[in-house]
Amino acid sequence: MAKYTLPSLPYAYGALEPHIAREIMELHHSKHHQAYVNGANAALEKLEQARKNNFQGVDVRAIERDLSFHLSGHILHSIFWPNMKPSGGGKPGGMLADMINSSFGSFDSFKAQFTETAKSVEGIGWAMLVYEPSSDQLLTLNIEKHNMQAAHGTVPLLVLDVWEHAYYLQYKNDRASYINAWWNVVNWDDAEDRLRKAKR
């Protein structure tokens, strides 16, 4: 059975300061993301054991729910880390810029929509820019937890974690200020690379 592992950050924990504090990054990566990795692996182990026991006395629904939650958390965080970089921000170029313009009218319109999407997540979750291949366009999604309100078949290009553990130590309950600061560390090269791979 394959095991999931915690990916290394592509930069030091303090590299995104002052926009995202070192303490947040260290706890977020080493504790929270690790917990999703552990949870996904535990769910897979339970399913493997259930198969050996012919699923007798096993709540498969609960295990599958845990797998969906923890694996989605692991995958989204694995996109989130390289979606950011020191001295990031600005505007995208290339194919991503062209598709943002065609899908949203302009970069400013996209940025406003993505910001409002992130601010409007109820409780805990993510804002996402995704490529939707059947219509060949970009969409924003408002994801609750890690896995609710997801659109199947879409490819995440840019994700923003708005769970409180992503910002509370620095921004307290001011999610909007965290979102505004996050635009300064966006790695557009990474999002562009994800788009090109998705379209291939």
- Asked if residues 199 and 131 have their Cβ atoms less than 8 Å apart, the reply is yes
- Over residues 150-189, the pLDDT tens digits come to 899 999 999 999 999 999 999 999 999 999 999 999 999 9
Confidence (pLDDT) at 5: 98
Question: Per-residue pLDDT for 1 more than 80?
Answer: no
pLDDT tier for residue 55 given thresholds of 50, 70 and 90: very high
Domain annotation for the chain: domains and CATH numbers: 22-80 (1.10.287.990), 94-199 (3.55.40.20)
Residues in the chain: 200
Q: Which strands sit side by side in the sheet containing 137-144, from one edge to the other?
A: 137-144, 125-132, 155-161
pTM of the model: 0.96
Confidence (pLDDT) at 6: 98
Cα–Cα distance measured from residue 143 to residue 126, given in angstroms and rounded to the nearest whole number = 5
- Asked if residues 133 and 157 have their Cβ atoms less than 8 Å apart, the reply is no
